[in-house]
Amino acid sequence: MKISAIILAKNEIDNIRDCIDNLSFCDEIIVVDNGSTDNTEKIAESLGAKVFIDSTVNFSESRNFGLKHASFDWVLYIDADERCDEVLKGEILKAVKNDNISAYYLRRKNFYLGNYEWPYIEKMLRLFRKGNLKRWEGKIHETPIVEGKTAIFDGFLIHKTHKNLESMVEKTAAWSSIEAELRLRANHPKMSWWRFPRVMLSAFVNSYILQGGYKARGTGLIESIYQAFSIFITYAKLWEFQNKKNEIIK
Protein backbone atom coordinates (compact mmCIF):
# COMPACT_ATOMS: atom_id res chain seq x y z
CA MET A 1 0.00 0.00 0.00
CA LYS A 2 1.21 3.49 -0.84
CA ILE A 3 1.24 6.54 1.45
CA SER A 4 0.30 10.16 0.78
CA ALA A 5 1.88 12.57 3.28
CA ILE A 6 0.00 15.82 3.82
CA ILE A 7 1.87 18.82 5.24
CA LEU A 8 0.02 21.92 6.44
CA ALA A 9 2.23 24.95 5.97
CA LYS A 10 2.29 28.73 6.08
CA ASN A 11 5.56 30.66 5.88
CA GLU A 12 7.63 27.59 6.77
CA ILE A 13 10.76 28.43 4.79
CA ASP A 14 12.95 27.34 7.74
CA ASN A 15 11.24 23.95 8.08
CA ILE A 16 9.78 22.80 4.79
CA ARG A 17 12.95 21.39 3.19
CA ASP A 18 13.89 19.21 6.16
CA CYS A 19 10.26 18.16 6.62
CA ILE A 20 9.95 16.94 3.02
CA ASP A 21 13.32 15.15 3.23
CA ASN A 22 12.13 13.40 6.41
CA LEU A 23 9.09 12.07 4.52
CA SER A 24 11.09 10.47 1.71
CA PHE A 25 9.69 7.06 2.73
CA CYS A 26 6.23 8.20 1.55
CA ASP A 27 5.09 7.78 -2.05
CA GLU A 28 3.49 11.22 -2.42
CA ILE A 29 4.01 14.48 -0.54
CA ILE A 30 1.29 17.12 -0.61
CA VAL A 31 1.83 20.60 0.81
CA VAL A 32 -1.32 22.51 1.70
CA ASP A 33 -0.11 26.11 1.66
CA ASN A 34 -2.33 28.54 3.53
CA GLY A 35 -1.08 31.74 1.92
CA SER A 36 2.67 31.77 2.48
CA THR A 37 4.45 35.03 1.63
CA ASP A 38 7.96 33.55 1.73
CA ASN A 39 9.37 30.89 -0.63
CA THR A 40 7.70 27.88 1.04
CA GLU A 41 5.73 27.04 -2.11
CA LYS A 42 8.71 27.25 -4.48
CA ILE A 43 11.00 25.20 -2.24
CA ALA A 44 8.36 22.50 -1.78
CA GLU A 45 7.78 22.24 -5.54
CA SER A 46 11.52 22.09 -6.23
CA LEU A 47 11.73 19.06 -3.92
CA GLY A 48 9.00 17.23 -5.81
CA ALA A 49 6.06 17.94 -3.53
CA LYS A 50 2.63 18.73 -4.92
CA VAL A 51 1.58 22.16 -3.66
CA PHE A 52 -2.05 23.25 -3.37
CA ILE A 53 -3.02 26.75 -2.28
CA ASP A 54 -5.63 26.65 0.46
CA SER A 55 -7.91 29.58 1.32
CA THR A 56 -10.00 27.82 3.98
CA VAL A 57 -10.41 29.40 7.40
CA ASN A 58 -9.67 26.63 9.90
CA PHE A 59 -7.50 23.55 10.38
CA SER A 60 -10.30 21.03 9.84
CA GLU A 61 -11.07 22.49 6.42
CA SER A 62 -7.36 22.55 5.56
CA ARG A 63 -6.97 18.89 6.48
CA ASN A 64 -10.10 17.98 4.47
CA PHE A 65 -8.75 20.02 1.56
CA GLY A 66 -5.51 18.02 1.61
CA LEU A 67 -7.41 14.74 1.85
CA LYS A 68 -9.24 15.50 -1.42
CA HIS A 69 -5.90 15.72 -3.23
CA ALA A 70 -4.36 12.53 -1.77
CA SER A 71 -3.85 9.84 -4.43
CA PHE A 72 -3.08 6.78 -2.32
CA ASP A 73 -4.71 4.37 0.13
CA TRP A 74 -3.08 5.74 3.30
CA VAL A 75 -2.69 9.36 4.40
CA LEU A 76 -0.19 10.68 6.94
CA TYR A 77 -0.72 14.18 8.36
CA ILE A 78 2.40 16.09 9.39
CA ASP A 79 3.04 19.70 10.41
CA ALA A 80 6.06 21.45 8.93
CA ASP A 81 7.93 21.50 12.26
CA GLU A 82 7.44 17.78 12.95
CA ARG A 83 9.77 14.87 12.07
CA CYS A 84 9.29 11.08 12.17
CA ASP A 85 12.06 9.21 13.99
CA GLU A 86 13.52 6.08 12.36
CA VAL A 87 11.50 3.68 14.51
CA LEU A 88 8.26 5.42 13.57
CA LYS A 89 9.14 5.34 9.85
CA GLY A 90 9.64 1.59 9.98
CA GLU A 91 6.40 1.06 11.90
CA ILE A 92 4.42 3.12 9.41
CA LEU A 93 5.74 1.13 6.46
CA LYS A 94 4.72 -2.12 8.17
CA ALA A 95 1.35 -0.76 9.35
CA VAL A 96 0.02 0.08 5.91
CA LYS A 97 0.13 -3.65 5.10
CA ASN A 98 -2.25 -4.42 8.00
CA ASP A 99 -5.84 -4.91 6.87
CA ASN A 100 -7.31 -4.87 10.40
CA ILE A 101 -6.46 -1.32 11.49
CA SER A 102 -8.03 1.86 10.09
CA ALA A 103 -5.93 4.53 11.84
CA TYR A 104 -2.89 4.92 14.06
CA TYR A 105 -1.96 7.23 16.90
CA LEU A 106 1.49 8.80 16.78
CA ARG A 107 3.24 9.62 20.04
CA ARG A 108 4.66 13.14 19.89
CA LYS A 109 7.62 14.46 21.86
CA ASN A 110 7.73 18.25 22.13
CA PHE A 111 10.97 20.18 22.46
CA TYR A 112 10.79 23.79 23.65
CA LEU A 113 13.35 26.61 23.69
CA GLY A 114 15.93 24.62 21.80
CA ASN A 115 16.33 20.98 22.78
CA TYR A 116 14.54 20.90 26.14
CA GLU A 117 12.25 17.88 26.08
CA TRP A 118 8.76 18.38 27.50
CA PRO A 119 7.77 15.68 30.03
CA TYR A 120 4.30 15.09 28.59
CA ILE A 121 3.96 12.77 25.57
CA GLU A 122 1.01 13.58 23.30
CA LYS A 123 -0.96 10.96 21.37
CA MET A 124 -2.25 12.19 18.04
CA LEU A 125 -4.32 10.34 15.42
CA ARG A 126 -2.40 11.10 12.23
CA LEU A 127 -2.12 7.99 9.98
CA PHE A 128 -5.33 6.86 8.28
CA ARG A 129 -6.63 4.40 5.77
CA LYS A 130 -8.08 6.93 3.34
CA GLY A 131 -11.41 5.18 2.89
CA ASN A 132 -12.00 5.08 6.65
CA LEU A 133 -11.23 8.73 7.32
CA LYS A 134 -14.58 10.38 6.69
CA ARG A 135 -13.61 13.96 7.50
CA TRP A 136 -12.11 16.32 10.04
CA GLU A 137 -14.48 18.34 12.23
CA GLY A 138 -14.14 21.31 14.58
CA LYS A 139 -13.61 24.98 13.86
CA ILE A 140 -11.03 25.51 16.63
CA HIS A 141 -9.74 22.07 17.69
CA GLU A 142 -9.92 19.63 14.79
CA THR A 143 -10.97 16.00 15.32
CA PRO A 144 -10.84 13.17 12.75
CA ILE A 145 -13.98 11.11 12.19
CA VAL A 146 -12.79 7.55 11.57
CA GLU A 147 -14.52 4.23 11.02
CA GLY A 148 -12.78 1.09 12.27
CA LYS A 149 -10.12 0.03 14.77
CA THR A 150 -7.19 2.17 15.85
CA ALA A 151 -3.73 1.33 17.23
CA ILE A 152 -0.67 3.21 18.48
CA PHE A 153 3.00 3.20 17.44
CA ASP A 154 6.06 2.89 19.68
CA GLY A 155 8.14 5.36 17.65
CA PHE A 156 7.94 9.11 18.07
CA LEU A 157 6.99 12.19 16.15
CA ILE A 158 9.57 14.82 17.08
CA HIS A 159 8.14 18.33 17.40
CA LYS A 160 10.64 21.17 17.84
CA THR A 161 8.56 24.23 18.51
CA HIS A 162 8.87 27.50 20.45
CA LYS A 163 12.58 27.64 19.52
CA ASN A 164 13.13 31.00 21.20
CA LEU A 165 11.16 33.68 23.01
CA GLU A 166 11.02 35.96 19.97
CA SER A 167 9.45 33.30 17.75
CA MET A 168 7.00 32.41 20.54
CA VAL A 169 5.72 35.98 20.78
CA GLU A 170 5.56 36.27 16.98
CA LYS A 171 3.52 33.06 16.83
CA THR A 172 1.08 34.38 19.41
CA ALA A 173 0.68 37.64 17.50
CA ALA A 174 0.02 35.75 14.27
CA TRP A 175 -2.29 32.99 15.49
CA SER A 176 -4.20 34.71 18.29
CA SER A 177 -6.24 36.78 15.82
CA ILE A 178 -7.15 33.65 13.86
CA GLU A 179 -8.16 31.74 16.99
CA ALA A 180 -10.09 34.71 18.35
CA GLU A 181 -11.98 35.08 15.08
CA LEU A 182 -12.84 31.36 15.07
CA ARG A 183 -14.23 31.68 18.59
CA LEU A 184 -16.23 34.72 17.53
CA ARG A 185 -17.73 32.79 14.62
CA ALA A 186 -18.56 29.93 17.00
CA ASN A 187 -20.61 32.43 19.09
CA HIS A 188 -18.34 32.24 22.14
CA PRO A 189 -20.00 33.65 25.30
CA LYS A 190 -19.31 37.32 25.92
CA MET A 191 -15.92 37.91 27.53
CA SER A 192 -16.43 39.28 31.03
CA TRP A 193 -13.51 40.34 33.23
CA TRP A 194 -13.59 37.16 35.34
CA ARG A 195 -13.07 34.92 32.31
CA PHE A 196 -9.53 36.26 31.80
CA PRO A 197 -7.95 35.03 35.08
CA ARG A 198 -9.92 31.77 34.77
CA VAL A 199 -8.59 30.84 31.31
CA MET A 200 -5.06 32.00 32.18
CA LEU A 201 -4.98 29.97 35.41
CA SER A 202 -6.39 26.95 33.61
CA ALA A 203 -3.71 27.18 30.89
CA PHE A 204 -0.92 27.50 33.46
CA VAL A 205 -2.14 24.62 35.65
CA ASN A 206 -2.58 22.36 32.63
CA SER A 207 0.94 23.07 31.38
CA TYR A 208 2.88 23.28 34.65
CA ILE A 209 1.04 20.72 36.81
CA LEU A 210 -1.00 18.31 34.68
CA GLN A 211 1.56 18.00 31.87
CA GLY A 212 4.45 17.94 34.35
CA GLY A 213 6.06 21.16 33.20
CA TYR A 214 7.52 21.61 36.69
CA LYS A 215 9.86 18.70 35.92
CA ALA A 216 11.49 20.82 33.20
CA ARG A 217 12.44 23.44 35.80
CA GLY A 218 13.13 26.87 34.29
CA THR A 219 12.04 25.85 30.81
CA GLY A 220 8.82 24.44 32.21
CA LEU A 221 8.04 27.61 34.12
CA ILE A 222 8.73 29.85 31.12
CA GLU A 223 6.65 27.67 28.79
CA SER A 224 3.74 27.48 31.25
CA ILE A 225 3.67 31.24 31.81
CA TYR A 226 3.83 31.67 28.03
CA GLN A 227 0.78 29.42 27.62
CA ALA A 228 -1.13 31.63 30.07
CA PHE A 229 0.06 34.75 28.24
CA SER A 230 -0.86 33.32 24.84
CA ILE A 231 -4.41 32.41 25.86
CA PHE A 232 -4.79 35.86 27.44
CA ILE A 233 -3.91 37.57 24.13
CA THR A 234 -6.34 35.31 22.24
CA TYR A 235 -9.21 36.11 24.59
CA ALA A 236 -8.32 39.79 24.76
CA LYS A 237 -8.63 39.91 20.98
CA LEU A 238 -11.92 38.03 21.23
CA TRP A 239 -13.14 40.69 23.69
CA GLU A 240 -12.05 43.36 21.20
CA PHE A 241 -13.84 41.63 18.30
CA GLN A 242 -17.01 41.17 20.34
CA ASN A 243 -17.10 44.87 21.24
CA LYS A 244 -16.55 45.89 17.62
CA LYS A 245 -19.34 43.55 16.54
CA ASN A 246 -21.69 45.10 19.09
CA GLU A 247 -20.79 48.59 17.89
CA ILE A 248 -21.62 47.59 14.30
CA ILE A 249 -24.98 46.13 15.38
CA LYS A 250 -25.83 49.34 17.24
Low-confidence ranges of the chain (pLDDT < 50): 248-250
What's residue 48's pLDDT?
A: 97
What's residue 56's pLDDT?
A: 80
Sign of CA dihedral 6, 29, 66, 45: positive
- Quick: pLDDT tens for 198-232: 999 999 999 999 999 999 999 999 999 999 999 99
What's residue 247's pLDDT?
A: 56
What's residue 250's pLDDT?
A: 46
By C-alpha distance, which of 58, 113, 108 is closest to 83?
108
In DSSP notation, the chain reads: --EEEEEEESS-TTTHHHHHHHTTTSSEEEEEES--SSSHHHHHHHTT-EEEE---SSHHHHHHHHHHH--SSEEEEEETTEEE-HHHHHHHHHHTT-SS-SEEEEEEEEEETTTEE-SPPEEEEEEEEGGGEEEEE-SSS-EEEE-S-EEEEEEEEEEE---SHHHHHHHHHHHHHHHHHHHHHTTPPP--TTHHHHHHHHHHHIIIIIT-GGGGHHHHHHHHHHHHHHHHHHHHHHHHHHHHHHHHH-
What's residue 243's pLDDT?
A: 92
- Asked whether 104 and 125 are in contact (CB, 8 A), the reply is yes
Q: Sketch out the chain's domains with CATH numbers.
A: 3-160 (3.90.550.10), 165-249 (no CATH)
pTM of the model: 0.89
- Asked whether 85 and 121 are in contact (CB, 8 A), the reply is no
